[in-house]
């Protein structure tokens, strides 16, 4: 088996936002009063070791604020670990909150190009794909309409269509699996099943234990930034449920 992701002893310290003063005036004043202090930092990920083989489906579980989304961000390269190493082989497709890169003022077509390039594709590639994306999202008639003229369901459909119209090596899911009305949900489900059956490595954060048990080979239970337990999804989910109840 080939390795897709390897994290070695990853630690991440972040500044806590709540006590941060975003104020130039206050900072300068406190500096003159001699009250200035270095902003406090908090350990959000604590010595995470993780190896994901190619094609593995891994579920990440844990309470709120356990560091699940942060871990995904580190793997995506959005956050740099303070110490430790992150190695990723292959292209990552992040599926975190669809439609984040849209600009409501410009047309659907322009948004397909914009979003695609933001996700790392070239404009030429996106122009070729635009047809199939519009078709999947069922928005062929809306090509030149600005996105603010679409309903929120349509925007979600468009986001899903662009983000999943790729053949990534690694797919990152943060609790977004299906959008839109009932018939579109089925389409989404089919496409996701397609990913699930292929050799794509998938990392998914979910609060649905049933889902994790059924669809993931392995699960990781995060607690206060550290790995509490990792292994077969059945086992991890069972002990997680026992610990909370």
By CB under 8 A, name the binding residues for another protein: 14-15, 17, 20, 22-25, 27, 73, 76-80, 94, 96-97, 100-101, 103, 105-106, 110, 113-114, 117-120, 122-123, 146
Least distance (Å) between residue 113 CB and another protein: 6
Q: Looking at beta carbons only, is 17 or 151 nearer to another protein?
A: 17
Least distance (Å) between residue 65 CB and another protein: 15
Q: Looking at beta carbons only, is 59 or 94 nearer to another protein?
A: 94
Q: Looking at beta carbons only, is 20 or 36 nearer to another protein?
A: 20
- Cβ 206 vs Cβ 175: under 8 Å: yes
Q: Looking at beta carbons only, is 110 or 138 nearer to another protein?
A: 110
Least distance (Å) between residue 234 CB and another protein: 32
Range 109-117 contact pairs with CB under 8 angstroms and sequence separation of 24 or more: 109/143, 109/144, 111/147, 111/158, 112/158, 112/162, 115/159, 115/162, 115/163, 116/162
Q: What angle do CA 112, 118, 119 make, to 5 degrees?
A: 90
Matching residue, tokens 């994290």: 7
Q: Looking at beta carbons only, is 113 or 200 nearer to another protein?
A: 113
Tell me how crowded residue 238 is: count the other CB atoms within 10 A of its CB.
Answer: 13
Least distance (Å) between residue 104 CB and another protein: 9
Least distance (Å) between residue 100 CB and another protein: 5
Q: Looking at beta carbons only, is 102 or 195 nearer to another protein?
A: 102
What span, in angstroms and rounded, lies between the C-alpha atoms of 222 and 243? 12
Least distance (Å) between residue 54 CB and another protein: 21
What span, in angstroms and rounded, lies between the C-alpha atoms of 242 and 170? 31
228 Cβ contact list (under 8 Å, min separation 6): 62, 221, 222, 240
């Amino acid at each position: 088996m080939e390795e897709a992701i390897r994290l070695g002893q990853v630690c991440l310290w972040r500044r806590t936002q709540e006590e941060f003063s975003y104020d130039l005036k206050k900072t300068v004043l406190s500096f003159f009063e001699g009250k200035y202090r270095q902003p406090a930092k908090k350990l959000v990920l604590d010595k995470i070791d993780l190896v994901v083989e190619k094609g593995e489906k891994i579920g990440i579980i844990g309470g709120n604020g356990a560091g699940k989304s942060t871990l995904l961000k580190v793997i995506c390269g959005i956050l740099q670990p303070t110490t430790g190493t992150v190695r990723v082989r292959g292209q990552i497709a992040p599926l975190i909150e669809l439609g984040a890169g849209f600009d409501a003022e410009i047309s659907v077509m322009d948004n397909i190009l914009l979003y695609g390039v933001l996700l790392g594709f070239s404009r030429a590639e996106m122009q070729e794909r635009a047809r199939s994306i519009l078709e999947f999202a069922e928005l062929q008639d809306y090509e030149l309409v600005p996105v603010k003229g679409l309903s929120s369901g349509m925007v979600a459909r468009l986001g899903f269509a662009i983000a999943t119209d790729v053949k990534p090596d690694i797919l990152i899911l943060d609790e977004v699996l299906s959008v839109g009305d009932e018939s579109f949900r089925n389409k989404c489900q089919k496409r996701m099943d397609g990913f699930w059956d292929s050799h794509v490595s998938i990392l998914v954060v979910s609060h649905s234990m049933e889902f994790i048990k059924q669809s993931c080979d392995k699960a990781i239970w995060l607690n206060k930034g550290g790995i509490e337990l990792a292994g077969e999804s059945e086992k991890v989910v069972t002990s997680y449920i026992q610990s909370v109840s």
